[in-house]
């Protein structure tokens, strides 16, 4: 097969596109990895805040509140 200039140009163009696509995939993978870590961090924060709220609500129930009105009231 004869190596024509057009074929060489097409192959080079395809290789350049492939290189750019590979880089784009690597960039997207880095972004997804960072977002996954951030979601995990936020999930731990939400879990901790839910536990703190539940603890505060439980403590509030244990505090002596207003006495209910007498039955004849």
Q: Residue 18 to residues 9, 10, 21, 29, 32: CA-CA distances in angstroms?
A: 14, 12, 5, 16, 21
- Residue 68 pLDDT: 72
- Residue 64 pLDDT: 66
Domain count for the chain, please give it: 1
Phi-psi region of 66 (alpha: psi -120 to 50; beta: other; left: phi over 0): beta
Q: Is residue 30 part of a domain?
A: yes
- Residue 44 pLDDT: 99
Query: At which residue do the structure tokens 């979601």 appear?
Result: 39
- Residue 60 pLDDT: 77
Q: Is residue 48 part of a domain?
A: yes
Q: Is residue 67 part of a domain?
A: no
- Residue 65 pLDDT: 65
Q: Is residue 3 part of a domain?
A: yes
Q: Is residue 7 part of a domain?
A: yes
Domain that includes residue 43, residue range? 1-53
Residues across the chain: 73
Q: Residue 51 to residues 5, 22, 55: CA-CA distances in angstroms?
A: 69, 44, 6
Q: Is residue 63 part of a domain?
A: no
In which residue ranges of the chain is pLDDT below 50?
none
Q: Is residue 16 part of a domain?
A: yes
What is this structure's pTM?
0.63
- Residue 73 pLDDT: 58
- Residue 8 pLDDT: 94
């Amino acid at each position: 097969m004869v190596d024509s200039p057009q074929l060489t140009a097409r192959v080079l163009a395809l290789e350049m596109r492939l290189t750019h696509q590979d880089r784009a995939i690597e960039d997207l993978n880095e972004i997804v990895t960072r977002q996954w870590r951030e979601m995990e961090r936020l999930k731990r924060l939400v879990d901790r805040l839910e536990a703190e709220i539940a603890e505060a609500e439980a403590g509030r129930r244990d505090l002596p509140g207003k006495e209910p009105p007498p039955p004849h009231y």
